Amino acid sequence: MKAVIFDLDGVITDTAEYHFQAWGSLAAALGIPFDREFNEQLKGISRTESLDKILARGNLSEAYTDEDKQELATRKNAEYQRLISAVTPSDVLPGIKSLLTELHDAGIGIALASASKNAAFILDRLELTRYFDSVVDVTAIRHGKPDPEIFLTGAANLGVQPADCVGIEDAQAGIQAIKGAGMFAVGVGTPSQMQGADIVVASTAELSLSMLEEHFCEFTKRGSL
């Protein structure tokens, strides 16, 4: 295990909840039903794709011009940015700070593979930027999750082979992206939400360097049999 590539929202901090709230407000204003189960489909995917899915759910795909959609996406982002402006280092999820410290001390590469254009701002608010050897520039990514491109770019930025990487995700699209990249996939959530993950933890508090190394080792041994 030479590198760990992290998703941000829902893995490092609970901003997945703020995305849910901000989309929920917009959906309510548009009269579109919105709940947590549907929200699972939005995790990991871009702002514009999320809006398209929400509008499709309300049979409103054809009801708005591209300009209107741009305005709706901006409205959602304004609400999201209002919510994340209050993020502090105390919002880092359990176990994450100690995991980053252990990885850093062990010389293991650390990258961020987030679909969010707000990722760098949030890392700064959490005071975690200095731990990351690479923050993948999502604006340069052509194919979003579930495509593996963002995880492959993270590995390339760190100069490591995908097979030597662990990816950590809370989204179904993210797990698909990690597996598509040929990496070991850790899911945070329930096994039904994290289908295809190599291991699933209910909470980030379960993550540690020794725990990841142990599972990664078992996985690579099984693969070479």
Q: Which does 117 bind (CB under 5 to 8 A by kind): ligand BG6, Mg ion, none?
A: ligand BG6
Do the beta carbons of residue 185 and residue 175 sit within 8 Å? Answer: yes
- Burial grade of 10 (CB within 10 A; 0-12, 13-18, 19 or more): buried
Q: Is 170 annotated as a binding residue?
A: yes
- Please enumerate in sequence order all residues whose Cβ is within 8 A of that of 81, keeping only pairs 6 or more positions apart, or say none: 118
Q: Is 189 annotated as a binding residue?
A: no
Indicate the residue among 112 and 209 with the shorter CB distance to Mg ion. 112
Which residues within the stretch 104-133 sit at the binding site for ligand BG6 (CB under 6 A)?
A: 114-118
Q: What letters, b where the CB count within 10 A reaches 16 and e where it falls short, cover 86-102? A: ebeeeebbebbbebbeb
Q: Is 176 in the site for ligand BG6 (CB under 6 A)?
A: no
The binding track of 48-87 with respect to ligand BG6, each residue x by CB under 6 A or -, is --x--------------------------x----------
Q: Is 7 in the site for Mg ion (CB under 5 A)?
A: yes
Residue 146, preceding peptide bond in cis (omega within 30° of 0): yes
Is 52 an annotated catalytic residue? no
Which residues within the stretch 9-68 sit at the binding site for Mg ion (CB under 5 A)?
A: 9-10
Indicate the residue among 95 and 144 with the shorter CB distance to ligand BG6. 144
Is 68 an annotated catalytic residue? no
Q: Is 221 annotated as a binding residue?
A: no
Q: Is 66 annotated as a binding residue?
A: no
- Please enumerate in sequence order all residues whose Cβ is within 8 A of that of 43, keeping only pairs 6 or more positions apart, or say none: 9, 10, 16, 19, 170, 171, 172, 173, 174
Q: In what order do the strands lie in the sheet with 134-135?
A: 134-135, 109-112, 3-6, 165-169, 184-188, 199-201
Query: Distance of alpha carbon 36 from its chain centroid, rounded?
Result: 17
Q: According to CB under 5 A, which one of 40, 149, 164, 170 is a site residue for Mg ion?
A: 170
- d(C-alpha 112, C-alpha 75), whole Å: 26
Catalytic member of 9, 66, 68, 133? 9
Q: In the complex, what is the shortest distance from the CB of residue 109 to ligand BG6, in angstroms, rounded to a whole number?
A: 20
Indicate the residue among 63 and 202 with the shorter CB distance to Mg ion. 202
DSSP letter at 147? S
Residues that bind ligand BG6 (CB under 6 A): 8-9, 16, 19, 42-47, 50, 77, 114-118, 171
Q: Which residues are annotated as a binding site for substrate?
A: 7-9, 23, 42-47, 50, 76, 114-118, 145
